[in-house]
Structure 1
Amino acid sequence: MSPTTPHQPVLLRLLHSAIALLVFGSLLTGFMVYDRYDKRFGTLNLPIVPNTQGIHGTIALTFLILLPIFAVYCFHIGDRRLVQSQSMQQLGQQLTEVGKPIWWVSLQRLTNTFMLIAATLAVVTGRMMQEIWLPTGELNHIWYIGHLISWIIMAIGIALHLLMSTKVGGLPLLLSIYHWRIRESDLPKNWLKGFKIKPNSSIALIIEFVVIGGIALAFLLPLFVTA
């Protein structure tokens, strides 16, 4: 593990920090809502916080608004951190190749991509829920079940993301996203340098279509569908 902290673009640091705070806030308040109204899979019997649903909804809506900006950054500027056309081949190496640095890097990219898809599923299912369901004991709606599953997937994705980042770059890589060192390249005028119109591979294009399309549905579906 190198003692040198790698430099991350300031735009990535800003977006990643905001997204991380919103995700953890959504997970925490979402569990508080579950712990108050559902409890079927276990409970911590947390103290009741007034308007927990409203707090969760506000955090989730902010997350939905920021998510497309973060997704566009990931696919068109930070695409080297996502799955590549050769990633599956690298992961599918013979057993003797497993554990080499490029294998772990490919797994990290796959994990990062997986989290974007999980986030998309979370915002789509969350937007289709009705606030009245849980207080009235309507716990079996498909959108609510899907929302629970999506946040379980997201929690698993966070754990894998932290694990893979630790494996690839150790503590310096984990801390680099919160290191506020500024370079000339970090000035706002340089934020969009390196922006690519075309994704780096066909698989990236398909995943971007799923993610951006899913986010668009999260905005639009509630306007036309009565869940």
Structure 2
Amino acid sequence: MSRSRPYQPLLLRILHGFNALIAVLAIITSFWVYNTYDGRLIRIALPKINDIIGIHGTFGLTFLLIMPALAIYSFHWGQKRLVQADSLAKLTQVGKPIWWYTLHRIVNTVMLIAATLALITGRQMKEEWLPAGELHHTWYQLHLLGWVILTCCLFIHLLMSVKVGGIALIVSMFEWQHTPEDSPRLWWQKVRSLLHREKP
């Protein structure tokens, strides 16, 4: 494995890949739902799918089940990829590499928050609201907001990834090779160490 390319932990690659795939499918179907039953701001010619709400709900539920694993990883082993205590101070260094890295970390953090908002509000919605034309519910408005923020952050996340790490960083997220210390055999040991450390 070439060390000239950035190396990403194998567990991060797996969690990131599964979450990204399901999130993108949920985003696509969420727009399809919006396009079918709302469309107040934008509407395009998409074919009508009778159970599009159920399909979106399936992806949403899958995302709800797998996203906590990525969140736990991000706030513990991947914490350096999120907002840091000195992030605001580093934002004053406009144009410097650390400024771009800081923006990338902020976007990563906002993505996790937006995903959480979308998941929580989605669980509070009722499937009959939109087919009945009931677009005024607060939970629906918040759910829509969560998906819009998440979608925007996803595009910015990709652009920032290219900016701070180039195409090599993107490619590194799809590689399957790993170092001996990153072996899946050691994952449970790391989890046990984390649980033991957090005991009062």
TM over 0.5: yes
1:46-85 alignment to 2 at 5 Å?
A: 46-85=46-85
- What is the identity, as a one-letter code, of the residue corresponding to 2:41? F
Cα deviation, 1:149-182, whole Å, max 9, x if unaligned, reads 1111111111111121111111111121111122
Instruction: Measure, in 1, the Cα distance between the counterparts of 2:50 and 2:181.
Output: 45
Give the aligned residue type for 1:136: A
Matched, 1:123 2:119: yes
Corresponding position: 1:146 with 2:176: no
Deviation at 1:34, TM superposition (A): 1.1
Q: What's the Cα RMSD here? A: 1.7
Out of 189-198 and 130-139, give the one that drifted further: 189-198
Structure-1 residue corresponding to 2:167: 171
Shift of 1:188: 1.4
2:15 maps to 15
Give the distance between the partners of 2:44 and 2:5, measured in 1 at CA: 38
Q: Which residue of 2 aligns with 1:188?
A: 184
Q: Distance in 2 between matches of 1:143 and 1:158?
A: 22
Greater alpha carbon shift after TM alignment, 16-25 vs 158-167: 158-167
- Alpha-carbon offset, residue 71 of structure 1: 0.6
Cα separation, 1, equivalents of 2:20 and 2:133: 31
Unpaired stretches in structure 2, ≥5 consecutive residues: none
Q: 1: CA distance between counterparts of 2:14 and 2:175?
A: 11
TM-score in terms of structure 2 length: 0.90
Residues 126 and 147 of structure 1 are in contact (CA less than 8 Å); yes or no, is this contact kept in structure 2?
Answer: yes
Indicate the percent of aligned positions where both proteins have the same amino acid: 48
- In structure 2, the partner of 1:26 is 26
Distance 1:166 1:147 in 2: 29
Aligned length: 192
Contact 1:4-1:172 within 8 A present in 2 as well:
no
> Contact 1:108/1:164 (CA < 8 Å) preserved in 2?
yes
Structure 1 residue 126, shift from structure 2 partner: 0.7
Distance 1:14 1:50 in 2: 33
Q: Distance in 1 between matches of 2:39 and 2:101?
A: 38
Higher relative contact order (CA 8 A, sep 6+): 1
Name 1:224's counterpart in structure 2: none
The aligned amino acid for 2:141 is I
SS in 2 for 1:99: coil
TM-score, reference length from structure 1: 0.80
Query: Does the aligned pair in 2 maintain the 1:36–1:45 contact within 8 Å?
Result: no
Distance in 2 separating the partners of 1:33 and 1:4: 44
Deviation of 1:121 (Å): 0.7
> Separation in 2 of the partners of 1:178 and 1:6?
12
Between the aligned partners of 1:150 and 1:173, the Cα distance in structure 2 is 27
Q: What CA distance in whole angstroms lies between the structure 2 residues aligned with 1:12 and 1:60?
A: 21
Task: Mark the runs of 5 or more structure 1 residues left unpaired by the alignment.
Answer: 199-227
- The code of the aligned residue for 2:138 comes to I
Inter-partner Cα distance in structure 1 for 2:125 and 2:84? 34
The offset of 1:24, in angstroms, is: 0.4
CA distance in 2, matches of 1:190, 1:101: 34
Q: 1:113 aligns with which of 104, 109, 112?
A: 109
